[in-house]
Amino acid sequence: MTFIARIVQFLFWLLVLRWGVRLVRYFLAELLGHRGSASEPGAHAAAGVEAPRAARQLVRDPVCGMHVDEALSIPLRAEGELVQFCSIACRDKYLASTRKIAANG
């Protein structure tokens, strides 16, 4: 065989192996997912696995506009209202801009 044919053959078997691994992972996830859903709701907490939440609340960062899960956001109570940010950098930008506004009157 030529060198190029060997490379093509190698890539083909690499692709087949990748598909096989994905297929096995899919079936294992389905198998474990169905078995886990039949158990009691408290069994997830006892096993150390977080129970899936029904819905996630998203909040919008006022600086960059990014939507963030409320549980992962960085909260700040400013002027009596709760403002939530995606990162500490956005929180600091917000604080700097409100200080400039307050200083200018």
Q: Find the CATH number of the domain harbouring 62.
A: 2.30.170
DSSP string, 38-91: TS-THHHHHHTPPPPPS---EEE-TTT--EEETTTSEEEEETTEEEEESSHHHH
Q: Are residues 68 and 100 in the same domain?
A: yes
Same domain, 95 and 69: yes
pTM of the model: 0.45
DSSP, res 59:
E
Number of domains into which the chain is organized: 2
- pLDDT value, residue 33: 78
Model pLDDT, residue 29:
86
Q: Which domain holds residue 83?
A: 58-104
Reported as a single tens digit per residue, the pLDDT across 11-54 is 999 999 999 999 999 988 888 876 544 444 554 555 555 656 56
Q: Does residue 91 fall inside a structural domain?
A: yes
Quote the pLDDT of residue 30.
85
Higher pLDDT, 4 or 53: 4
What DSSP state is assigned to residue 52? P
pLDDT at 37 (0 to 100): 47
| pLDDT, tens digit (0-9, with 9 covering 90-100), for 57-89 | 889 999 999 998 988 889 999 888 899 999 999
